[in-house]
Amino acid sequence: MLTERRKKILDFLQNYFNENLRYPTIREICSHFGIKSTNGVYEHLKALERDGYISLDRKKSRAIKLNKDKNIFKRIPLLGIVSAGEPIFPVIEEGDYLEDINNLLKGTFILKVRGNSMINAGIHDGDLVSVDVDRDVKNNDIVVALLDGEVTLKRIKFDKEGIILFPENPDYSPIYVKSGFFRVLGKAKMLIRKLD
Amino acid sequence: MLTERRKKILDFLQNYFNENLRYPTIREICSHFGIKSTNGVYEHLKALERDGYISLDRKKSRAIKLNKDKNIFKRIPLLGIVSAGEPIFPVIEEGDYLEDINNLLKGTFILKVRGNSMINAGIHDGDLVSVDVDRDVKNNDIVVALLDGEVTLKRIKFDKEGIILFPENPDYSPIYVKSGFFRVLGKAKMLIRKLD
DNA sequence: AATTATACTGAACAAATGTTCAGTTAGCAA
DNA sequence: TTGCTAACTGAACATTTGTTCAGTATAATT
């Protein structure tokens, strides 16, 4: 069970990593909490591993890994909300954090979008789209598809006649997938654009 | 000087970190390169530190830190280019990587956009915008501004009459900054949107 | 009342790890 | 040639670090 003490240890592990880009040694955890015996911390770590919160590489130093499924990585504070009509004061609220971006991008690749076929979905020429390859594709998802050796970013729709790839731009025509080699490479997951 | 050998060591450090979320020990670097003496690697590390490519925390294990100014972090491969009109084959080209996203976001905060005042700049309601606070603001930059205790995301323009905050939506009016408390909180740096 | 889990102390061991020193070889520049 | 640097080898040393064992105390659970 995740006790208060162990919650604080998890918290320390996250903060330490965010500051130092590495995890602490057992003795460093000890001194942070004022625990005099390394075994005091070591048993916490083993319990946290047993319960799936972390994983440990035995015999290796600083070899802790936070389990991303069980933990929300606190990396970037989410600062208030920018509004056009109803502005809100910028306040960092505890617990408001953006999920670990590295984690969000893991197991994916990045595609650079060229063309304006998805402009109405807010995806512009030059934007970067992270694509998750291990995802089941549902109706209306934005997907990256391979069609006869060509790659396109489109919104996918399934109906009785088959698969249709819809652009989000009236100037472009939908593609009805009939023959030839077709495969969905992955599902568009995140949009990243450099603004400056 | 950054020799070929040291370039490969830097590369290994980056790759090892991306895979393991920690840096290797000196002996792990040794065995990767088939170097039999720890000093062989240790002198490389000291040279890399001397030249500003990394920094070392002496006496601590796995305490390497890559200098972000001197290194491009290779984290996510940039896979080809998605095009609407002229599709391109998906090929991972060497050297094509997205810069370290953590690094891009460092020293910034994230704002959640509400409203559609910037819709023509492709910034939609609910999008996340990373804001860099330590940046000089130029004409036409998209900035987060604090005006009489209200926060807004707008394109900033300087002219003889003063500062104007422009929305990217014809339904909204520009704001002429005349009186009251005004401050630019930061410059919009990246746009992040979850697509699924 | 007995058992189990948490949360430690204290001591000790073995392995991992950073660091240093003395030397070697090869190539490059003055 | 001489000197310098890169790129090591090999050995040794000193910490650091993970791990284990034997206890103690407290609170909650069966």
**Domain-wise residue ranges, chain A:** 4-66, 74-99, 107-192
Is A14's Cβ below 8 Å from some Cβ in B?
A: no
Q: Distances from the Cα of A133 to the Cαs of A79, A136, B136, in angstroms?
A: 31, 9, 39
- Per the CB < 8 Å rule, is B81 touching A111? yes
Residues within 8 A of A (CB atoms), B 99-118 only: 101-102, 105, 108-118
Nearest to A78 by CA among B148, B123, B105, B103: B105
pLDDT given at position A134: 55
How far is A195 from B144, CA to CA, in rounded Å? Answer: 12
Question: What mean pLDDT comes out for the span B141-163?
Answer: 79
CA distance between the termini of chain B: 46
Residue A77 CA: distances (Å) to CA of A94, A116, B144, B161: 9, 33, 16, 36
CA distance A82 to B109: 12
Strands B76-83 and B64-66: unpaired
Is B144's CB within 8 Å of A62's CB? no
CATH class of residue range A107-192 = mainly beta
Whether A59 CB is under 7 Å from strand C: yes
Position with higher pLDDT, B24 vs B154: B24
State residue B179's pLDDT score.
Answer: 66
Which of the residue ranges A39-53, A104-118, B108-122, B154-168 has the most confident prediction, judged by mean pLDDT?
A39-53
Helix ranges (H only) for chain A are 4-20, 26-33, 38-50, 101-105
Of B83 and A161, the one with more pLDDT: A161
Distance, in Å, from the CA atom of A14 to the CA atom of A98, rounded to the nearest integer, reads 14
| Nucleic acid strand C within 7 Å of A31 CB | no
User: Does residue B83 surpass a pLDDT of 50?
Assistant: no
pLDDT of residue A150: 60
Of A116-120, A150-154, B39-43, give the range with the top mean pLDDT: B39-43
Which of B17, B76, B115 is closest, CB to CB, to A84? B115
DSSP state of A120: G
| Per-residue confidence band for B107, with pLDDT thresholds at 50, 70 and 90 | very low
CA distances in angstroms from A179 to A147, A150, A184, B86, listed in the order given? 9, 14, 14, 20
Residue B117 among the catalytic residues:
yes
The single residue listed with the structure tokens 């789209």 is: A129
Asked whether the predicted pLDDT for residue B119 surpasses 70, the reply is yes
Choose from A4-13, A93-102, B101-110 the range with maximum mean pLDDT: A4-13
More confident residue, A84 or B170: B170
- Cα B120 to Cα A112, A115, A190, B4: the distances in Å are 20, 16, 19, 47
Q: Looking at beta carbons, which pairs linking B83-87 to residues 24 or more positions away fall under 8 Å?
A: B83/A114, B83/A115, B83/A151, B83/A152, B84/A114, B84/A115, B84/A116, B84/A117, B84/A118, B84/A152, B84/A153, B84/A167, B84/A169, B84/A172, B85/A115, B85/A117, B86/A114, B86/A115, B87/A149, B87/A150, B87/A151, B87/A152
Continuous segment of H or E residues that includes residue B143? strand B142-147
Q: Is the domain covering B104-192 a CATH 1.10.10.10 domain?
A: no
Q: Give CA–CA dist A143/A165, Å, rounded.
A: 9
How far apart (Å, rounded) are the C-alpha atoms in residues B6 and A178? 53
Q: For strand A76-83 and strand B108-114, is the pairing parallel, antiparallel, or unpaired?
A: parallel
Q: Name the CATH architecture for the domain at A4-66.
A: Orthogonal Bundle (1.10)
Q: Report pLDDT digits (tens) over A29-83.
A: 999 999 999 999 999 999 999 888 889 999 999 999 887 555 433 333 444 444 3
Q: Tokens for B27, please give them.
A: 């002996």
Contact positions of strand C to protein Cβ (< 7 A): 5-12, 15-22
User: What is the rounded CA–CA span in Å between residue B46 and residue B54?
Assistant: 9
pLDDT bracket for residue A148 (50, 70, 90): low
pLDDT at residue A23 above 60? Answer: yes
> Shortest CA distance to A144 belongs to which of A111, A179, A108, A180?
A111
A91 at the B interface (CB within 8 A)? no
Q: What is the pLDDT of residue B7?
A: 85
Question: Which range is least confidently modeled, A48-62, A168-182, B27-41?
Answer: A168-182
> Could you tell me if B64 and B13 are in contact, meaning their C-beta atoms sit under 8 angstroms apart?
yes
To the nearest 5 percent, what fractions of chain A are helix, strand and coil? 25, 35, 40
Taking the CA of residue A7 and the nearest CA in chain B, the distance in Å comes to: 21
CA of A25 to C1' of C23 (A): 36
Q: What is the mean pLDDT of chain B?
A: 74
Binning pLDDT at 50, 70 and 90, where does residue B71 land? very low
CB contact at 8 A, A139 and A157: yes
Q: Distance (Å) from CA A59 to C1' C16?
A: 8
Q: Find the radius of gyration of the CA atoms of chain B.
A: 23
Q: How confident is the model at residue B98 (pLDDT cuts 50, 70, 90)?
A: very low
- Averaged confidence pLDDT in chain A: 74
